[in-house]
Structures are given as structure tokens and as C-alpha cells.
Structure 1
Amino acid sequence: MTKVDVLVVGQGLAGTALSYYLMQAGCRVQIINHSKPETASRAAAGLYNPITGRKMVKTWLADKIFPEIEPFYRQLESLTQQRFLHPMPIYRPFLTNAERSDWSILAPQSIYQPYISQVFQHSNFGDYINDPLGGILLRQSGYVDLPTLLSAMQQYFREQTVYQEEIFDVTRLRLEKTGVQYGDYHSRWLIFCDGADGYRNSFFRWLPYQPVKGEILLIDTEKKSNIVFNRGIFVMPFGDKYKVGSTYDHQDLTFAPTEKGRNTLQNKLDKLLTTPYRVVNQWAGVRPATRDRRPFIGMHPNHKTLGIFNGLGTKGVSLAPYFAQHFTRFLTESATLHPETDIQRFESFYHAVS
């Protein structure tokens, strides 16, 4: 029997970040993961963006979360000797004169200043996109190449002998008062970081998941830039091409790209881009989103040795560094979980179905 402190199920972005911070805290970790190409983390664009949504509002908890993003991914780059962090400005064109006027007033305010590089009153990127009213250029933004990160970190975990490739089999799990036993492992805690599969998890399926499928195009263009264009869709430099996304589908939760998804993205792309393009590839993923758009973090109401770190949704790259560290402190230092992420907020759901 091998004794560890934490069994982590899943090595997507959530499982990777949590395992890293637990190991940094001195915990003996064992990761159980089934590698498959169709995961949310591997299909995601990996953007981190401080001003988001149709209404262009500051991202939830931005002032706490954003200082953690780039230092965390740089640490992993140093650890693996791989490059996957790509800091990059994001340009968001204005849609109305009123919006342009509002941002001329908002941009100098202290709450927005850290994230806004410049406000343009007139078109500045007309060679690439339609921006007749100008827009805002953001900083503390960019993207993380998640497939490269996850592959590099899997190799690192293997070298540290804390990684096991297998499909987690719940029938091999035995719950005890002071820990869990799974196969040859005895652990104080077992934490599920199982991404979009989480809503099928027998211990946590009472949580209000709202998984959403997203489709992404890979396009080639005549003109190249080192800026992400984002309004309605994102157009993100990726090597010598661009990723374009994303769609939001709550009904079709397969990983198969669709003609409908492609048409939706191309219709938006035709309105945004002024430079010719051609579609090179298309793929899809299912995000582990939640009903209230906040992560699921915490311990099972009845089984205090079982926990969850999931539901990072569309903002996983931004949320994972801060909240993995946050959850690690909860497990190792008895810190308090953030009330908007603690799964205790849904405990009445558990009792309603149990």
C-alpha cells in the first residue's frame, strides 16, 4: 500500500494547477488521469482577458486573479523548459458612440487603469477589422497554449513519479473516516478535477453543471498581427495563423465540429474582418461550466475526504492559478474557501436528491 496525501483525478488545467501547488506545499500527490484528445482544456483557446462580455465589464475578481496569471505560467515554463505563455494585447472595438464616450470617462479611473493600455477614438486597425469608432487596447492579457502546457506538465509529473495513466474506476474506491483507499493507494483526500465529465460523477452530479460546447476555427489570412481582436468572437494569433471562436451550445455536448458552428463563426468573422481569410481547420470542446458561472470548489457534504476542483468554465486560464492556490491553502492550512466558489452554496441541492 502506497501512502499519499492527495489523490488528484484528472490532469486538465484544473488538475495540473492544483497538483503543482499541492506539491509546492509539500504534499505527496498522485495523479490518476486518462489522456484523451477531446478534453475542454486541450480544445480551449486559452485566452485571459480582463475586460469581457457584451457589456465589456471587468472580469470577476480581476484585481486578485490577474496578478497571479503570468507568474504562475512562467513558473511552469521554467519547470518544463517549454514555452506556452503568450502575453498579447487584446483590442476591443466600440460598437456605439455611447460606448466610446463611456470608455473615455471610465478608462482613466483607477479600477480600470491597470488593464487598459489605450483608448482609440477613431479606427486604428482598419487594415484588419471593422473598427470605425475606435476601441480599447487591453493589457495584462494574452493566451496560454494549453495542449503544450498539459503535455509538458504530464511529462514533468511522470518524471516526479506522481502520474498514473488509467481510467478512474469508482468501484475500486473505498471511503474511510480518515481517508480513502483506491487500488494500491491510501490517501488523506481524493480531489476530482474531472472537467466536463464531472456532471456524470456519482459523488458530485447534484451540483448544477451547465456544460457548454464551443467550436473554434483555425484560419489563415493575408495580413498578420500580434494583437487579439475580440468583439462577439475572438481572432487570436496562433503561430502563423489565427484561432477564431467561440460558439456556445448547451444542447449538443459532443466533441464533433458542426457545419452550424462553422457558419456561425464565419458569419461573425465576415462582419469583423476586413482582410481575406481561409478556414484551415475546425474543432470543438465541451467546457465544464456551471449555472452561476462560478467554480465548484470544496468537500463533499457527507464524505469529507472527497473534494472537487472543477467548473472553471470559459475563464479557466484566468481562474486556475488563483483558485488552485486558494484550495491548496484550504487543504493544508485550513484557510476559508471563497463563498462564491464553495460548493456549500449548493448543499440544499444535495439533500434534495439524497
Structure 2
Amino acid sequence: MEVDFLLIGQGLAGTVLSYRLIQKGLKVHLIDDADPNSSSKIAAGLYNPVTGRNLVKTWKADALFKEIEPFYKEMEALLGQQFVHPIGIYRPFISFEEQNEWLAKSADPQYDAFIDKVYSASRHQGVNDPFGGLLLKSTGYIDTRKLVDSFGKWLIDKGMLTNSSLDEKDLILTKDGYWEYEGIKAKKIVFTNGIQARENSYFNWIPFIPVKGEILTVRQDFTSSEIVNRGVFRIDLGKGIGKVGSTYNNAEINLSPTEKGKKEILDKLKQLINESVVEIIDHQVGIRPGIRDRKPVLGKHPSEESVYIFGGFGAKGVSLVPYLSNQMVNLLICGEEPEKEVNINRFFKYI
């Protein structure tokens, strides 16, 4: 089998990039270990333009958020599945000062696309919001497990995906400049396998910082027409079921659920939601592929002409990958360098 690109990893990054390349009429094949605990399959999939303790507009929000819903709806149409869930995000204020700050920001045109309404008094009896809160729009969540699994089946049906772990010693560069792997011959190879990229000999110098995240699925007597987000997020799945998370732990990198993580989430949930009776239905763990400077990494290996990486998206992959995959395609096809904030060349000093 001869292809243009061999992608290693079919998480969110591999899914979106391979789709972009296929749309360009290029031949791809993916190798994926089908790990059920990959971060793409565990992640809640939120897309949120205003984040952090200080409620700041996320990096390149204006460009990123124009891509999100149209792109994922295009993939929905291809796969005949629903995994896009546009829904508002409600952020309770913690003080009058914060309330006043956002009342002022609501008059700023740069926030027009993202602020639905600023509430100066409590709007939800089930939420701890005595100072009111900020209702955001152009927000929601993507069911990333459903997306990745559905696209994986689509790829398998077309003979474009092999579910197996990559054995690097079997990856051979031929004299004519092609990569060969178990009967596949590719012009270029792209590592899209998240945190696993740090384990291969090509990109083990990139300063990945893996972050363990734990998420709970709970049952409680609370419903909301929006995602409620302060300290933790709570996505209402209907019938009293909610997904709540998440933790950020870069000290214990393993896939074991912890009592400490569960307690942290439940304590923050109790501060956010007035209904305290909670039944734990599920407790999941994923490892996010973070980078030291909290920006993804796109680019070509400094000495291997046909080896590339597209990864390091951390907790914001859902919002970052559609936009940055266009830059990655332009690099792979036309040799156009990605913008400096995400360009791999910022790490060449570590080699």
C-alpha cells in the first residue's frame, strides 16, 4: 500500500488532520493502538472562549471559535452521527468586583461574539451564584469519544486504519526517501499520538508535560439548560446525570482513579451546586498531552525531512485542533511554516 501520509495516532488530532488531508484528495493511513483511556476518549470536550480563574479570553479565540461548530458539523454529516452539542456556559461570579468588571466588558465589542448576558443577581436556585454570573455563547461540548470511534470505523471500512501499537524498530526509511511500515509505504510520517510522542526517538526532546485528569459521572437532583463552570464544570446529560471535572495533576502520571481526585471534584461541585446528594456512576482518568509553554507543537523534524508532529493540545484540543489543522495541512502540502507560537522550531534549542 502506498500513501502520501502515515499518521501515528487516531485521537482527536489524528482524526481531524487525516480528515483534512483526505478532503484534499490525499492518501492517508493511520496506525493507532485503540487505547480506550486516551485523552481524546476521556475528555469532556468543552469549547469555551473565556477561561481560567481570572476569566480571560482564550488565546486566538476570535479565529478559533469561527471554526469549531461548522467544522464538527461537517464531520457529523460525513459520519451520520451527532456529537456536537452547542450549549451556553454559565460562570457564577465570586464577588461584586468581578460582576462589575464583566458588566463593563459586556460593552466592549471584542466580547460581542462570546457574551450572551451578564446577570447581576442569582439566576438559578440550584447554583451557588449570589453575585450573579456570566452566560457565555459560542460554547458547548463535543462528544470526542463518539467522534473518534465513529471516524475510526469509517477509516477501517476504507482500509485506512490499522489498530496496533507502533513498533519503531519496524519503521524503516528507504533509500528513495519513503517510510515503510508493515507493508505500508508513505512519503511522509506525522506523529499525532498525543503524549506517546515523547516516547519515540524523533521527538523525545520536546518538553511535554503530561497532566493527569479525573472526571466523574454523577447522579444528583439538579438540572440545568447550560454547562455550569466554576472550579469544576458540570455538563447536564439529562435524567439527573451529569459529567463533572476535572483535576489537573502533573505529579502522578498514571491511569488509576484516586480518592483524592474524587474528593477534590466533589468538594468543588458542592461549592458550585446547592444539591449536595451525589451518587458516583463512573470515575475516569486520562492523560493530557501538555507542553511546557502551554501551546501545541506543529512542525517538521529539524533533520529528518519527512517526519512531522502535530500534538500537545492539552485540555483545549477541541477548540485548537480544527483551526491549527489547517496550518498543519499547509505545512505538509505547501511547506508553509505554522505561526511562531506553535511552531516546533521554538524547541530546537533542547536537541
Superposition TM-score tier, normalisation by shorter sequence: over 0.9
Shift of 1:336: 2.6
Q: How far apart in 1 are the matches of 2:287 and 2:225?
A: 28
Name whichever of 251-260 and 158-167 sits farther off: 158-167
Q: Tell me the alpha carbon deviations over residues 207-231 of structure 1, each in whole angstroms, 9 at most, x when there is no partner.
A: 0001100001111121312210111
Seq. identity, % = 39
- In structure 2, what is the Cα distance between the partners aligned to 1:336 and 1:286? 28
1:52 to 2:55 alignment: no
- How far apart in 2 are the matches of 1:110 and 1:29? 42
8 Å contact from structure 1 (residues 198, 288) kept in 2 = no
Give the C-alpha shift of residue 175 in structure 1: 2.4
Report 1:200-215 matches (<5 A): 200-215=199-214
Q: Deviations over 1:104-160 (max 9, x none)?
A: 1111211111000000011111x2210000111000100011111111101111122
Alignment pair present for 1:188 and 2:191 = no
- Quote the residue 1:279 is aligned against: 280
Give the TM-score taking structure 2 as reference length: 0.97
Q: What CA distance in whole angstroms lies between the structure 1 residues aligned with 2:281 and 2:162?
A: 35
Partner Cα distance (2:133, 2:79) in 1: 37
Alignment partner, residue 216 of structure 1: 215
RMSD: 1.1
> What is residue 36 of structure 1 aligned with on the other side?
35
Of the structure 1 ranges 196-205 and 283-292, higher mean CA displacement relative to structure 2 is found in 196-205
Q: Could you tell me how far apart the structure 2 residues matched to 1:188 and 1:107 are?
A: 50
Alpha-carbon separation, structure 1, partners of 2:349 and 2:76: 42
Q: TM-score, normalised by structure 1?
A: 0.96
Query: Which residue of 131, 134, 138 corresponds with 2:132?
Result: 134
The one-letter amino acid of 1:344's match is N
- 2:304 matches 1:303: yes
1:347 corresponds to 2:345:
no
Are residues 1:109 and 2:113 paired? no
Structure 1: distance between partners of 2:97 and 2:286: 36
Q: Shift in Å at residue 238 of structure 1?
A: 2.4
Give the structure 2 partner of residue 15 of structure 1. 14
1:239 positional shift = 4.2
CA–CA separation in structure 2 for the residues paired with 1:173 and 1:279 = 44
2:329 partner amino acid: T
- For residue 165 of structure 1, what is the aligned residue in structure 2? 163
Q: Which residue pairs with 1:260 in the alignment? A: 260
In structure 1, C-alpha distance between the alignment counterparts of 2:77 and 2:22, rounded to whole Å? 16
Q: Which residue does the alignment assign to 2:118?
A: 119
**CA deviation after TM superposition for structure 1 residue 162, in Å:** 0.9
Amino acid at match of 2:133: G
Mapped to 2, the partners of 1:302 and 1:191 lie a distance apart of 14
> Could you tell me which residue of structure 1 aligns to residue 79 of structure 2?
80
Q: Partner of 1:234 in structure 2?
A: 233
- Judge which range, 333-342 or 260-269, deviates more: 333-342
Distance 1:334 1:195 in 2: 23
Q: Per-residue displacement from partner, 1:59-92 (whole Å, max 9, x unpaired)?
A: 1011111110001110111111111110000000
CA contact (8 A) 2:168 2:200 kept: no
String of CA shifts for 1:262-295, please: whole Å, max 9, x gaps.
0111111111111243222211110001111100
| Paired residue type of 1:18 | L
5+ residue gaps, structure 2: none
Letter in 2 for 1:148: K
What is the number of residues matched between the two proteins? Answer: 348
**Amino acid of the structure 2 residue aligned with 1:151:** D
Residue 287 of structure 1 aligns to which amino acid in structure 2?
A: R
Ranges of 4+ aligned residues in structure 1 off by more than 4 Å: none
